[in-house]
Amino acid sequence: MFISNAYAQATPAADPGLMGNLSTFLPLILMFVVMYFLMIRPQQKRAKEQKSMMDALAKGDEVVTAGGILGKVSKVNDTYVTVEVATGTEIVVQKNSITTLLPKGTLKSL
pTM, two decimal places? 0.64
More confident call, 10 vs 86:
86
Note whether 74 and 92 are same-domain residues: yes
For residue 67, the enclosing domain spans 58-102
CATH number at residue 82: 2.30.30.60
Within this chain, do residues 62 and 41 fall inside the same structural domain, yes or no? no
Confidence (pLDDT) at 1: 65
Which residues make Cβ contacts (< 8 Å) with residue 76, sequence separation at least 6? 57, 58, 59, 82, 95
Average pLDDT over residues 18-45: 88
Higher pLDDT, 110 or 21: 21
Pairing of strands 80-86, 89-94: antiparallel
